[in-house]
């Protein structure tokens, strides 16, 4: 009887596992099929490879000048509207900043609201969101819309009705630890991949995978800490081709600083179905004062490749060891097959980091192929050492003059380029397989950076630096550039200056048109050589990502406008006046808050308010979806 019972048990278990595999495969295949149909925009970045490329070509370089507004919708929310719409068949799904409303809109009926979901969240979470109350979008999978709320609650909504299917706490939802949620989820196979925000509050970052069916936790991988918690195999996980060794997430930190070490994961995820690897970057170490945290501070500022099923890391690459400038490494990773680099073909990962270097890597092995500046004014480091035999291999060569560590606490290090918000922040680039080029929204901003000693208190700001930002001196143009980049050579092909930073996600299409938005509120279309073909000013600054879709045989372009984010925090957070700035300084800097009014305002918003003060002359707060199309 025991043998029969065990046999029955094994058969039942095998059947359940088989059913689970079928369900997993079908859910994954459904999403991949949807994302491969250019009529949809089924993932936040368009596809698993994060190319943000569309095969639609009805709108092309010859007729894009005829674009006109087809319909609009107010979201009913102000502040920064990052991310963009999803389009699944005849339904568009859009989202807002806090309170993170989700709308389902009927494309067959002039955008009629099919359902609206508005979560009830503790408004105290607003105070712990470092750089505006943004949200980067929802994801779709297995008939569900997945929302990552500001309070870290992850919710699965029935795509047809908006009813809650399941809900799970990814972090502390009461703000007691400063944990928040701003990133867009990614659905991979039978899992929802999600990160966490809050390094400016000493949050110890992680990435978690929740089961798509019921929201139960599948795996959780911290950025710092012991191997069992970082899901790092000391012998098999590699860094630049070599095993990382035991407890690599601890031994470059002093004492237990890794417990408040930052490395949060609020950027974008990519996925390679053939390798079954999920790719993402980790953010800055905490605090911003590098003197207080000696060592490389692994694994902050790191690109990670993890097994989608288990979360175990295959390879890591720390781009900015011992970050001294808040150069978060969370920007998107774009996957391209068969790129020829140095005479050999590789399936690559291309990453435009905040630190001003663009990296091309073999995404299977983690081999570093190219690391070059994508803004020639980057000055904090001369280069990344590319000699595998050197003890400096893969490390940026820091210039002493711009080292806030070497200059020390309470010393103002001036003229550092780029500023803390980077040569590019999270706004995603796009890749065109037709041209083989990447089209990249960039910032052209430098800073002064003065670190000071700060103590950690759970739920309180843990910054430890005063920062002032300003346009790059002696530069031609403005505070931003939209560039074309050759990732195989590490070269800028062309650069189009903009008055302010380009803070929107870009879109390339088979019609030989590239779209992006500006902080003043323009949506712009350029050809593949950078010539401007079209522009239209929407009601507010654009920090959202331009998307495209087809409905009833016609191609449309869609974008959310609503100024904010880090660059627009002065407008969004009411920090342009003395009272608002002083309140911000008191909350973040405490006794280190500047007493002089002009300095108080200019250094508020972690330095962005002064750098982007002129933005208020060109735009104001808003929240609107605009859909463009060709004349009927």
Residue that the structure tokens 């904090």 belong to: 380
Transcribe 138-172 into DSSP letters. Answer: -EEETTEEEEE-TTSEEEEEETTT--EEEEEESS-
**488: phi then psi, degrees, rounded to nearest 5:** -75, -35
Q: Does 466 count as an annotated binding residue?
A: no
Q: Does 182 count as an annotated binding residue?
A: yes
What distance in Å separates the CA atoms of residue 513 and residue 502, rounded to the nearest whole number? 17
Q: Does 404 count as an annotated binding residue?
A: no
Q: Which residues are catalytic?
A: 326
Q: Where are the beta strands (DSSP E) in 123-281?
A: 139-141, 144-148, 153-158, 164-169, 186-188, 191-194, 206-211, 217-222, 238-239, 242-243, 270-272, 277-281
Please list the alpha-helical segments (H only) found in 125-284: 227-230
End-to-end CA gap in the chain: 74
What distance in Å separates the CA atoms of residue 415 and residue 396, rounded to the nearest whole number? 18
Residue that the structure tokens 């930002």 belong to: 469
502 with 441: CB under 8 angstroms?
yes
Q: Does 82 count as an annotated binding residue?
A: yes
Q: Does 60 count as an annotated binding residue?
A: no
What distance in Å separates the CA atoms of residue 83 and residue 101, rounded to the nearest whole number? 13
State both tokens at 15. Answer: 């059947």
Per 3-state DSSP, the chain is made up of helix, strand and coil in percentages (nearest 5) of 15, 35, 50
148 with 268: CB under 8 angstroms?
no
State both tokens at 1. Answer: 């009887």
Q: Does 363 count as an annotated binding residue?
A: no
545 with 504: CB under 8 angstroms?
yes
State both tokens at 385. Answer: 């050492």
What distance in Å separates the CA atoms of residue 302 and residue 261, rounded to the nearest whole number? 13
Q: Does 293 count as an annotated binding residue?
A: no
475: exposed, middle or buried (C-beta count within 10 Å: 0-12, 13-18, 19+)? middle
Q: β-pairing, 186-188 with 396-398?
A: unpaired
Q: Does 326 count as an annotated binding residue?
A: yes
Distances (CA, A) of 372 to 355, 358, 485, 559: 11, 5, 11, 31
State both tokens at 558. Answer: 């869609």
> Which H/E stretch holds residue 581?
helix 578-588
Beta bridge partners of 348: 336, 362
100 with 93: CB under 8 angstroms?
no
Q: Does 204 count as an annotated binding residue?
A: no
What distance in Å separates the CA atoms of residue 268 and residue 270, rounded to the nearest whole number? 7
User: Taking Cα atoms as reference points, which of 467, 429, 463 lies closest to residue 446?
Assistant: 467
Please say whether the dihedral angle defined by the alpha carbons of residues 244, 275, 370 and 407, taken in this order, is positive or negative: negative
- Tell me the binding residues for pyrroloquinoline quinone: 82, 136, 182, 198-199, 264
Binding residues for Ca(2+): 200, 284, 326
What residues are designated binding site?
A: 82, 136, 182, 198-200, 264, 284, 326
């Amino acid at each position: 009887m025991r043998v029969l019972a065990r046999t029955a048990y094994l058969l039942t278990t095998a059947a359940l596992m088989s059913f689970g595999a079928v369900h997993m495969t079908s859910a994954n295949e459904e999403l991949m099929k949807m994302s491969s149909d250019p009529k949809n925009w089924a993932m936040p970045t368009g596809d698993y490879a994060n190319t943000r490329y569309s095969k639609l070509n009805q709108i092309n370089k010859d007729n894009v000048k005829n674009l006109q507004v087809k319909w609009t919708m107010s979201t009913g929310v102000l502040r920064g509207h990052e991310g963009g719409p999803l389009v699944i068949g005849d339904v568009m799904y859009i989202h807002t900043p806090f309170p993170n409303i989700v709308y389902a809109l009927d494309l067959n009926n002039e955008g009629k609201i099919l359902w609206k979901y508005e979560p009830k969240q503790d408004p105290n979470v607003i105070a712990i969101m470092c750089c505006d109350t943004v949200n980067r979008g929802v994801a779709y999978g297995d008939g569900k819309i997945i929302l990552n709320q500001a309070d870290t609650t992850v919710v699965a909504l029935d795509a047809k009705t908006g009813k809650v299917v399941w809900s799970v706490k990814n972090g502390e939802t009461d703000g007691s630890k400063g944990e928040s949620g701003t990133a867009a989820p990614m659905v991979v196979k039978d899992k929802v991949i999600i990160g966490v925000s809050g390094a400016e509050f000493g949050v110890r970052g992680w990435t978690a995978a929740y089961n798509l069916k019921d929201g139960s936790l599948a795996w959780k991988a911290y950025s710092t800490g012991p191997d069992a918690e970082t899901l790092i195999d000391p012998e098999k996980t590699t860094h630049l081709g070599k095993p990382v060794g035991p407890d690599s997430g601890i031994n470059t930190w002093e004492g237990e600083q890794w417990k408040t070490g930052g490395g949060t994961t609020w950027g974008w995820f990519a996925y390679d179905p053939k390798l079954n690897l999920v790719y993402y970057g980790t953010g800055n170490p905490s605090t911003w004062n590098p003197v207080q945290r000696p060592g490389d501070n692994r694994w902050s500022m790191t690109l990670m490749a993890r097994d989608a099923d288990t979360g175990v890391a295959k390879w890591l690459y720390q781009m900015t060891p011992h970050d001294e400038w808040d150069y978060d490494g969370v920007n998107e990773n774009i996957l391209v097959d068969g790129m020829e680099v140095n005479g050999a073909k590789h399936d690559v990962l291309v990453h435009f980091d905040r630190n001003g270097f663009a990296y091309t890597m073999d995404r299977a092995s983690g081999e570093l192929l190219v690391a070059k500046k994508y803004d020639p004014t980057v000055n904090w480091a001369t280069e990344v050492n590319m000699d595998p035999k050197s003890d400096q291999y893969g490390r940026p060569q820091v210039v002493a003059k711009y080292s806030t560590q070497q200059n020390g606490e309470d010393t103002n290090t001036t003229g550092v380029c780029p500023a803390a918000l980077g040569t590019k922040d999270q706004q995603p680039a796009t890749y065109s397989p037709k041209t083989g080029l990447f089209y990249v929204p960039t910032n052209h901003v430098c800073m002064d950076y003065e670190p000071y000693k700060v103590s950690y208190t759970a739920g309180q700001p843990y910054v430890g630096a005063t920062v002032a930002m300003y346009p790059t001196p002696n530069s031609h143009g403005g505070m931003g550039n939209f560039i074309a980049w050759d990732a195989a050579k590490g070269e800028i092909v062309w650069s189009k200056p903009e008055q302010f930073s380009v803070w929107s996600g870009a879109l390339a299409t088979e019609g030989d048109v590239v779209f992006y938005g500006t902080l003043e509120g323009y949506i712009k279309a350029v050809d593949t050589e950078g010539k401007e073909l079209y522009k239209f000013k929407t009601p507010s600054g654009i920090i959202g990502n331009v998307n495209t879709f087809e409905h009833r045989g016609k191609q449309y372009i869609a974008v959310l406008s609503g100024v904010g984010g880090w660059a627009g925090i002065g407008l969004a957070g009411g920090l342009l006046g003395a009272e608002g700035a002083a309140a911000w300084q008191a909350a973040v800097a405490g006794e280190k808050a500047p007493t002089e009014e002009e300095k108080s305002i200019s250094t508020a918003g972690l330095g962005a308010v002064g750098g982007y003060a002129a933005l208020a002359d060109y735009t104001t707060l808003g929240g609107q979806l605009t859909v463009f199309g060709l004349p009927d």
